[in-house]
Structure 1
Amino acid sequence: MDAARLVEADVREELRRRISAGRSRGSEAEVRALVDRAVVDYDLRSLDGSLPDLRDRAAVTRAVVAAVSGYGPLQRYFDDPDVEEIWINEPGKVFVARGGVSELTTTILDAETVADLVERMLASTGRRVDLSSPFVDASLPDGSRLHVVIPDVTRRHWAVNVRRFVARARRLEDLVGLGSLSAPAAAFLAASVAAGLNVLVSGGTQAGKTTLLNCLLAAVPPQQRIITCEEVFEIQAPARDLVALQCRQPNLEGTGEIPLRRLVKEALRMRPDRLVVGEVRQAESLDLLIALNSGLPGMATIHANSAADAVAKLCTLPLLAGDNVTSAFVVPAVASSVDLVVHVDLDADGTRRVAEVLAVPGRVEGGVVETVSVYGREAGGTRLVRGSGWPPHRERYARAGTDLTRLLGTAA
């Protein structure tokens, strides 16, 4: 047994004694202090040659802290600010993504270690994964999102995904600095949010939808109250008056589940100035449309290949709410409720960029919601250029003190 394993065993034994005696809660700070003392003690005991040498005290300290209070072999990826996502397809295949590009790591685990890591991650969330509930979504203490699927839903091994929130952008100006958004488009989006327009953010997986949503929320006037509804906490809006709600899984008896639809309804009773749905996937889209149609400004994200596809998808999802919901109601509701659609793309080189900004004037022609381009990519390039369209509700911009003509200039 090497020195790190011996020190780890000493720390675990001391920690067990303290917890059993009621003198410890196993906090990270306490674990680190115990490890520091155990390393010093081990170093002294190894002087007579009876124990393996402690060659790198700092490395051993990091390894033992990660093993006891962190995420063991995965902790170094949690500590790496460039790692955006970690996933395990099987114990011998651990992947990470940096800058939107995936890579197979050299980390080799075993099935028992994977199960132990998942148990450790779920310990602070109050959620579980077992044969009766083979899927789990949870938010980790650092804000990362955990998703786990176990056999027999998977063929053989546990599938684990940890999506980390490592965005370097908190405001629209940050996106401009990163080259993800042009300065004129950023100014327009900020003015649109301040004016109270309803914004739908679309894009593929890992395209940066939540990051863009957070940046848009930073443009909400500080006196306004924001209520967010999500399956798992991901939104990190820099607001002083914010209440975040997340769904709840059913308990062991199969009761107590709180779906996203329920959260949207409850949020309307909480005096929101802005309603935000982390992602619309199913029937909750109907409740969102009804809320937006009542004059409450809001935002949401949606998976789609383009802004136009996002509008078409939003015209379909509410039909899942029941047979009594028809396109005759949904399509006009979308046209009158959604004002702007901002689409983000993940390029082949891992760069995330805003690809287009569509406006929804509120008209329906032949059962299709009309849209116009406010900003779009130049032909054959990545630069965002002014389109021919104008956003709806110009009077709202005027009330917010924005000269829309000066802001957008002459349409292309």
Structure 2
Amino acid sequence: MRQDSTRDWDHMTLTRHHHAASRDALVDELAERVRDAIRREGVDPQREPGVVRRIATAEVRAHDERSLTGQVAPVAEPEAVVGELVARISGFGPLQPFLEDPEVEEIWINDPSRVFIARNGRHELTNLMLTAAQVTELVERMLKSSGRRVDLSRPFVDAMLPEGHRLHVVLEGISRGFSAVNIRKFVLRASRVTDLVELGSLSARAAAFLEASVRAGLNILVAGGTQTGKTTMLNCLAAAIPGGERVVSAEEVYELRFPHPDWVPLQTRQAGLEGTGEIRLRDLVKESLRMRPSRLIVGEVRAEECLDLLLALNAGLPGMCTIHANSAREALVKVCTLPLLAGENISARFVVPTVAASLDLVVHLGIDEHGVRRVNEIVGVPGRVESDVIETQPLFERHGGELRRTPGVPPRVERYERIGIDVHGLLSDPAPGPREAV
């Protein structure tokens, strides 16, 4: 009896493997036909996935019609096969379901057998098992769509995928054991500061104050750790810029997305094969000043470009940027330190008062134990320096899970008055909204 059961189990396993192999062969055959049709029509599969889906649907339907004559086996799950064909040809293969899942925020590959995702701020190890060849093919396909490259001479790369997701690759040799791949998805959950109130990131009064500050032309520094929502906050603030102003932004990779009728986004460029042609973020900041901007936005300051941004803000050009820091105070210290990288002739005696005169607000973000991104503090910079320390005025602070108004006085009150905003009244009276404290 036991031998019969074992024989039946072996037969079932062999049958299952046979069906899987047959299905894989069928998908391979259909994929080749779809590729042929794409080449004939001159379609770019990365930029026109809708056309690829139409062609794949037509090929699967044609195959099913031939199966009625008995020449070929029918397709068991036509819709699933079409989705697999689109993912294989136009998308990114086994990673495509994660890229399409709106709950997944980030994907990273430590080695082919360990693929992780971040969902709602928490890490998960998936059951996806890849091969080294699959990962190499995926990276090559992703980089092909971005126009950037990675090789032994330049083992790091930052690139933007067609859907706006950010790709970062570190080649094996720099990364131990295997190339490290990270995809930070562009997940649009908020486009204005009022949306952040709905998400519980800040209070309605703080949102009204930040929106008024942008309209008044204050210079705002958005600070926080990795994945705390700095770019989302910058997008929401930028959406409040009046439509009559001209906006120029500079980023390492395009990540900013906000509605504005007069906006020129700029992006850095890698050096070519000859080692020439590199465009650094500092170059973009300098170039943007020649484009008659009314506002300057820098995606993130990390190095000497901070000096050029400060000089622009100090000359009267309103602007915003983000920076990695653990608090508003640390953000100001870092902004005072980064310009020193620009050259030996730059001293702290020049930088510290320039920072105090150039920045008006610091918005610090954090992420709690549940993965919720929140504004932890909003600090005003009145422009005074005492013993090489920039004075600050706390305007909002988070206490016991609530973002509360503090007695601090906002800077540049005259700028609010210039556009008809009573900022003291705005801060003293609760702003209308779904919730006041979050």
Conserved in 1, the CA contact under 8 Å of 2:110 and 2:181?
yes
Residue 180 of structure 1 aligns to a residue in which SS?
Answer: coil
1:210-251 Cα distance to aligned partner (Å, 9 max, x none):
000111111111111110000000011211110000100000
Q: What amino acid maps onto 1:9 in structure 2? A: E
| Correspondence 1:23-102 to 2 at 5 A | 23-26=42-45, 27-46=48-67, 54-102=75-123
Q: 1:11 aligned to 17, 26, 31, which one? A: 31
Moved more, 81-90 or 49-58: 49-58
Q: Does 1:113 align with 2:130?
A: no
Aligned-pair CA distance for 1:171? 0.3
Q: What amino acid maps onto 1:403 in structure 2? A: D
Residue 102 of structure 1 aligns to a residue in which SS?
Answer: strand
1:328-386 Cα distance to aligned partner (Å, 9 max, x none):
000000000000000010111100000000001101111111111000012xx111001
Partner of 1:387: 406
Structure 1 residues 93 and 49, CA gap change in structure 2 (3 angstroms): farther
Q: What amino acid maps onto 1:207 in structure 2? A: T
Q: Does 1:402 align with 2:407?
A: no
Aligned identity (percent) is: 56
1:227, 1:24 → 2: CA distance? 33
2:38, 2:394 → 1: CA distance? 64
Q: What amino acid maps onto 2:92 in structure 1? A: Y
Aligned-pair CA distance for 1:57? 1.2
Residue 119 of structure 1 aligns to a residue in which SS?
Answer: helix
1:152-186 Cα distance to aligned partner (Å, 9 max, x none):
11112111111111131100100001111100000
Q: What amino acid maps onto 1:15 in structure 2? A: R
Aligned-pair CA distance for 1:25? 4.1
Aligned-pair CA distance for 1:46? 4.3
Partner of 2:357: 336
1:22, 1:409 → 2: CA distance? 63
Residue 300 of structure 2 aligns to a residue in which SS?
Answer: coil
Residue 291 of structure 2 aligns to a residue in which SS?
Answer: coil
Query: Aligned pair count?
Result: 407
Structure 1 residues 320 and 65, CA gap change in structure 2 (3 angstroms): same
Q: Unaligned stretches of 5+ in structure 2?
A: 1-20, 430-438
Aligned-pair CA distance for 1:305? 0.3
Q: What amino acid maps onto 2:27 in structure 1? A: V
Conserved in 2, the CA contact under 8 Å of 1:7 and 1:39?
no
Q: From the two aligned structures, give the one with the greater helix fraction.
A: 2
| Correspondence 1:6-405 to 2 at 5 A | 6-16=26-36, 19=39, 23-26=42-45, 27-46=48-67, 54-378=75-399, 381-405=400-424
2:198, 2:52 → 1: CA distance? 40
Aligned-pair CA distance for 1:124? 1.8
Structure 1 residues 91 and 50, CA gap change in structure 2 (3 angstroms): farther
Conserved in 2, the CA contact under 8 Å of 1:227 and 1:276?
yes
Q: Unaligned stretches of 5+ in structure 1?
A: none
- TM-score normalized by structure 1? 0.95
Structure 1 residues 363 and 78, CA gap change in structure 2 (3 angstroms): same
2:41, 2:77 → 1: CA distance? 33
Residue 134 of structure 2 aligns to a residue in which SS?
Answer: helix
1:402, 1:25 → 2: CA distance? 50
1:250-302 Cα distance to aligned partner (Å, 9 max, x none):
00000000000000000000011100000000000000000000000000000
Structure 1 residues 384 and 279, CA gap change in structure 2 (3 angstroms): same
> Which one has the largest radius of gyration?
2
2:49, 2:38 → 1: CA distance? 14
Structure 1 residues 372 and 24, CA gap change in structure 2 (3 angstroms): closer
Residue 253 of structure 1 aligns to a residue in which SS?
Answer: coil
Q: What amino acid maps onto 2:357 in structure 1? A: S
Structure 1 residues 17 and 142, CA gap change in structure 2 (3 angstroms): closer
Structure 1 residues 54 and 269, CA gap change in structure 2 (3 angstroms): same
- TM-score normalized by structure 2? 0.90
Residue 190 of structure 1 aligns to a residue in which SS?
Answer: helix
1:161, 1:97 → 2: CA distance? 11
1:14, 1:399 → 2: CA distance? 61
Aligned-pair CA distance for 1:41? 2.9
Conserved in 2, the CA contact under 8 Å of 1:12 and 1:68?
no
Conserved in 1, the CA contact under 8 Å of 2:323 and 2:331?
yes
Aligned-pair CA distance for 1:49? 6.9
Conserved in 1, the CA contact under 8 Å of 2:33 and 2:59?
no
1:227, 1:78 → 2: CA distance? 30
Conserved in 1, the CA contact under 8 Å of 2:34 and 2:56?
no
2:232, 2:42 → 1: CA distance? 41
1:7-48 Cα distance to aligned partner (Å, 9 max, x none):
3333324524762x5754444233222211221233344457
